[in-house]
């Protein structure tokens, strides 16, 4: 079968069931983001083999309908995979390169199609300078989100000159009244990452020790 372009895959996303759309809600955003910032190393271009299983009910004699069923199943499986230690978080399928010959599974009647596709993954590396949004403030540090990573930890020991300010809305603040609190965007450098196999996710330790790091002030403030 022929190679399917991103526009063809995108058309399939528009007509796929709502449940699958919810699982792939990051698809459009991350493809557009990649087009604008192709030099960012945390976004990896990957080519992967995959086995797509199609039920007898989904099989259609028309080539395009079969391709559509394969694409929808691939995207659904891709979204559920979440992440791997080597490649990071699975974000988007960009092109479907090849679809191999289907093999019938004897006991179920399902057909297994070996495919090869290109995609985008997200993985952070030690030494990178990134940005995250604070979602939890503790006495000894803050947790941030960075892309799909929920647990990016910034210890109070790694934010020089900031002190903890307790209260209804706790935060960290320095003498220049620069504040690190909930929903604040912070630029940081990555000092370590850890893969959690049981949860299939990464954790990261970060620091503000360096030039031009810290809370980012919006231009319209």
Joined tokens for residue 95: 């092109």
Per-residue pLDDT tens over the stretch 86-100: 999 999 888 999 999
pLDDT of 76 reads 87
What are the tens digits of pLDDT across the range 185-214? 999 999 999 999 999 999 999 999 999 999
Report pTM. Answer: 0.73
Cα distances (angstroms) measured from residue 150 to each of 142, 157, 210: 12, 20, 23
Residue 59: its pLDDT value, please? 74
pLDDT tens digits, residue range 4-63? Answer: 444 444 444 433 334 333 333 333 333 333 333 334 467 899 999 999 998 887 776 666
Spatial distance between the Cα atoms of 156 and 188, rounded to a whole number of angstroms: 13
């Amino acid at each position: 079968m022929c190679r399917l372009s991103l526009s063809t895959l995108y058309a399939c996303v528009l007509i796929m069931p709502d449940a699958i759309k919810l699982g792939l809600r990051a698809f459009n955003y991350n493809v557009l983001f990649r087009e604008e910032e192709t030099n960012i190393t945390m976004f990896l271009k990957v080519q992967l083999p995959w086995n797509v299983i199609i039920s007898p009910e989904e099989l259609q004699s028309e080539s395009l309908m079969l391709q559509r069923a394969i694409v929808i199943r691939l995207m659904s499986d891709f979204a559920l995979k979440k992440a791997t230690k080597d490649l990071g978080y699975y974000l988007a399928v960009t092109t479907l390169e090849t679809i191999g010959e289907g093999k019938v599974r004897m006991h179920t009647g399902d057909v297994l199609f070996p495919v090869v596709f290109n995609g985008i993954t997200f993985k952070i590396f030690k030494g990178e300078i990134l940005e995250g949004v604070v979602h939890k403030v503790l006495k000894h540090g803050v947790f941030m989100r960075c892309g799909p990573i929920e647990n990016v930890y910034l210890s109070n020991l790694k934010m020089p000159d900031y002190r903890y300010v307790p209260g209804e809305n706790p935060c960290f603040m320095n003498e220049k009244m620069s504040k690190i609190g909930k929903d604040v965007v912070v630029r940081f450098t990555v000092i370590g990452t850890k893969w959690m196999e049981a949860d299939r996710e990464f954790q990261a330790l970060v620091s503000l020790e360096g030039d031009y790091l810290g809370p980012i002030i919006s231009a319209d403030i």
